[in-house]
Structure 1
């Protein structure tokens, strides 16, 4: 989805498309951080047993 949004923005220069791109990138980063935190917590729980 990010690739498509970037391609659309690069072809149109539409600022709303660019803002959508940034929102998608931010959401992806948040999801990756959440997954990393869950993995870290899981690893931490396994080492305390």
Structure 2
């Protein structure tokens, strides 16, 4: 399963990710955070407009 969080304010996405992480761990699942998308957006004018 992949979940992408996008928010105009970074704190909102961070809080959502934290809550999902806690829920996943309560079910015995692991979580992987990847900041790759954030890095890609920095260099893509089209993505920054979204």
Task: Quickly name the TM-score band, shorter chain normalised.
Answer: 0.3 to 0.5
Query: Which protein has the bigger helix share?
Result: 1
Larger Rg: 1
When the two structures are superposed, what TM-score results if normalisation uses the length of structure 2? 0.41
When the two structures are superposed, what TM-score results if normalisation uses the length of structure 1? 0.42
